[in-house]
Amino acid sequence: MVWCSGWRLASAVSNAGGLGLIGSGSMHPETLREHIQKCQAATSNSFGVNVPLLYPEIEKIMSTIVEENVKIVFTSAGNPMTWTGFLKDKGITVVHVVSNTKFARKSIEAGVDAIVAEGFEAGGHNGREETTTLCLLPLVRDMMNIPLLAAGGIGSGRAMLAAEALGADGVQIGTRFAASIESSAHENFKNKLINLGEGETILTMKQLTPVRLIKNKFYQQIAEAEREGSPADELKKIIGKGRARKGIFEGDLDEGELEIGQAASYIKSIKPAAEILLEIWNEYEVAKKTLIGRTT
Amino acid sequence: MVWCSGWRLASAVSNAGGLGLIGSGSMHPETLREHIQKCQAATSNSFGVNVPLLYPEIEKIMSTIVEENVKIVFTSAGNPMTWTGFLKDKGITVVHVVSNTKFARKSIEAGVDAIVAEGFEAGGHNGREETTTLCLLPLVRDMMNIPLLAAGGIGSGRAMLAAEALGADGVQIGTRFAASIESSAHENFKNKLINLGEGETILTMKQLTPVRLIKNKFYQQIAEAEREGSPADELKKIIGKGRARKGIFEGDLDEGELEIGQAASYIKSIKPAAEILLEIWNEYEVAKKTLIGRTT
């Protein structure tokens, strides 16, 4: 949720009864500090910070989190052994995001409090195995007993119910909130994503770190380079720096990296986060009643 | 289910309370006739025939189906407009397999009786959009009211329950039955698939017709040719003819095309089809009770 989930979205979700997360992946440490403080001022409910562990300023990010008294940290895109102990020692609840059972096992060994199992359909950074949420959840569920959250393709109440059926205790929702009023994404990006059809996102950059994004002009450049057999170094040059900022935050739909999940094809409106949460909850309740009432 | 689902598997599934399907994709018309007749002798319950519409001998396949009085046909890999009318005129129930809403709409226009929505995780031929079962099902459900079956990643009772939560009326299961006693696949193939880990299948041959298969030596040859930017014609030469037969039926795990779905990573044993059905059903019942009992 880089460039989408700042203090506005995180506090709105927490105020509406969810657990809001500040996405630190797009923030320098001092920006993150500001977002944490503003979030604390905007909600008295719990919220957390998501930290991609491959982040270059990771040490400063972690010390900022501790200094600002954050209680919950979601780590992703890296080895859970590196930071879990540090955070747990400070009394922080640690949740790690995984895309396979190998890293789920590592997370448990590292002592995390919960695991997010994120499937192939998720936006942004993703796993190399391409295992979908439907196939991944039961595998992770069967290997451990700590709380399991589902991510990837969960943009609706029905998907939340399906995740529960597969053994999840809860869900992590990104894409749906990227199209919220409180999302800090550019209007161009929000409007683009509520008009996306099936097959308009793709998991790409598999030679580097796989990322799901919208098939725009920037993607076509990467795809062409890949078709021509360009090595990783050349791809890195084409990608350059600041592409996600350019696309998601500045709204350059051609030259920016437009990270979003497959669930976007289900989203047709930009709404306040609280309304989105209520809508998901209501759909979940209806779907559950329907399921219980079935006489299969 | 080419080279897996002949009369033995189809009749075993039908005798156990499922709807068994003969996979005609690997059969010449006279072979199909033999399988239909043997299936009729082996079960008094309903069964069907799956017909990939891109099949070269399609006209003879269809006339065989009519001559042998088959009551249910699942069509896939092609345009539902071409054969649905012909089959419906003969009083045959027609179900079409789709991987996107565009073809779901075409199927309804063509007058099919039900639709199978098959996600990215499914084995064998697959869609170009890479939409997963979790994301595809609600999209198809919301556009129509005829019966909807879920396919792709459905190898367990929990997955069946999840499919229902997403709006499916039933499920189509392939991969799990490829590893049944009655499957006509070679023992080598069955043993390979019950030992598969996550990420050991991949959707490939995207320049031609996308297919999910096991990443074996044959796949590595294709992948290398693709990395080198080989055109479609060259890929076709590498693939050649009879690769699925070689792999699945003859058990050549290096040179054969080993089509299977992601659900394989959940399968750990080769069992009679009736036992598999019962196991799925029991897991479904337990998962449903657990879901109903939750106080979320």
B1 part of a folded domain: no
- A254 shares a domain with A150: no
**Mean pLDDT computed over every residue of chain B:** 96
Q: Which portions of chain A are predicted below pLDDT 50?
A: none
**B166 vs A129, A159, A203: nearest CB:** A159
- B57 shares a domain with B180: yes
Using the predicted structure, report yes or no on whether residue B295 has a pLDDT greater than 80. Answer: no
- A222 shares a domain with A131: no
Question: Position A73: which residue type?
Answer: V
**B161 vs A101, A165, A263: nearest CB:** A165
Q: What's the domain count of chain A?
A: 2
One DSSP character per residue, A25-80 reads GG--HHHHHHHHHHHHHH-SS-EEEEEETT-TTHHHHHHHHHHTT--EEEEESS-T
What's the pLDDT at A228? Answer: 83
**A161 contacts on B by Cβ (under 8 Å):** 165-166, 291
Pick the residue from chain A with its C-alpha nearest to B162: A162
Least confident of A231-235, A284-288, B61-65, B174-178: A231-235
Pick the residue from chain A with its C-alpha nearest to B100: A198
What's the pLDDT at A295? Answer: 66
Please give the helix or strand (H or E) that residue A20 lies within, else none: strand A20-23
- A64 shares a domain with A50: yes
- B180 shares a domain with B275: yes
What's the pLDDT at B55? Answer: 87
What's the pLDDT at A47? Answer: 98
A296 part of a folded domain: no
Residues in chain B: 296
What's the pLDDT at A294? Answer: 82
C-alpha B239/C-alpha B245 separation (Å) is 12
- B113 shares a domain with B192: no
C-alpha A181/C-alpha A216 separation (Å) is 23
Domain that holds residue B243: 187-263
- A242 shares a domain with A173: no
CB contact A56 to B (< 8 Å): no
Q: Contact B135/A262, CB-based, under 8 Å?
A: yes
Q: CATH number, domain at A141?
A: 3.20.20.70
Query: What distance in Å separates residue A153's CA from the closest CA in chain B?
Result: 6
**A165 contacts on B by Cβ (under 8 Å):** 158, 161-162, 164-165, 287-288, 291
CB contact B143 to A (< 8 Å): no
* A–B CB contacts, 8 A cutoff, strictly below: 140
What's the pLDDT at B170? Answer: 98
**A152 contacts on B by Cβ (under 8 Å):** 134
- B111 shares a domain with B34: yes
Average pLDDT value for residue range B63-80? 97
| pTM given for the model | 0.97
Q: Contact B166/A153, CB-based, under 8 Å?
A: no
C-alpha B227/C-alpha B89 separation (Å) is 48
